[in-house]
Amino acid sequence: MKYFGEGLSEQHKKLQHMIRKEQELEAAKELFLSLHAALHASAVSEMPCNEVDALLQDLQEYEYAIMPTREAETIAWVIWHIARIEDLTMNMLVARQEQVWNPDWKQRLQIRLDDTGNALTDDEIMDFSKTVCIPELLAYRNAVGRRSRQLVQELTFADMKRHVSQQDLARIRLCGGVSEHPDSLWLLEFWGKKDVAGILLMPPTRHILLHLNDCCRWKLEIRNRKHLYRS
């Protein structure tokens, strides 16, 4: 069921058809930026308030650390997960530069984690969600989003066709962006099969859309279910 992003899937399909056509490069970049803006807080793109603002603006901090059902994660975990994956893929694989994440951000968020959180157990997700500084987590995601928007504007058609480098995947592993757990390591193989255009179509767009839809559903469940799985 659709809880977030009405019409965004259609925009994403349009982007798929455009992004590898040289004559449509600039239009594809504009469409990416429009889609990306709808997937981040409006402060990132300096556009009018959007659905992400509506999701977050009245959330209480304790609600970030609730698993409403056995199948759910937490909203805090999702914000971390989508931010880390966008940071790693857009900066280290697409731009081939350093990620936004650094020791200063780690201190600000007050956490020990560096990787995407794919392999965390329910207990570890709950511990993370109750420990992380929510305002700084949101600030980190905003910083990642702003960096992505800058680098996309600089991409050339040759960049779009460039395949992900094994050297850059190794850098992600070396810096702890993915853990050594199989539930985390598979990401390197998945990303390694893509070109830059393929990365733009997943980590900073469709991946986020799917997770924000979950968050909007969980927000309703948190506020309406009589029994919550973990809180």
Query: Using the 8-state DSSP alphabet, how is residue 162 labeled?
Result: P
Q: Which of 59, 58, 77, 57 is nearest to 67 (CA)?
A: 77
Report helix, strand or coil for 195.
Answer: strand
The whole model's pTM is what? 0.97
Q: What is the pLDDT of residue 1?
A: 77
- What parts of the chain have a pLDDT lower than 50? none
Q: Which domains does the chain have, with CATH numbers?
A: 8-224 (1.20.120.450)
Q: Tokens for 195?
A: 């070109």
pLDDT in tens, 76-113: 999 999 999 999 999 999 999 999 999 999 999 999 99
d(CA 152, CA 21): 16
CA end-to-end span of the chain: 24
| 8 Å CB contact between 121 and 146 | no
Q: What is the pLDDT of residue 55?
A: 98
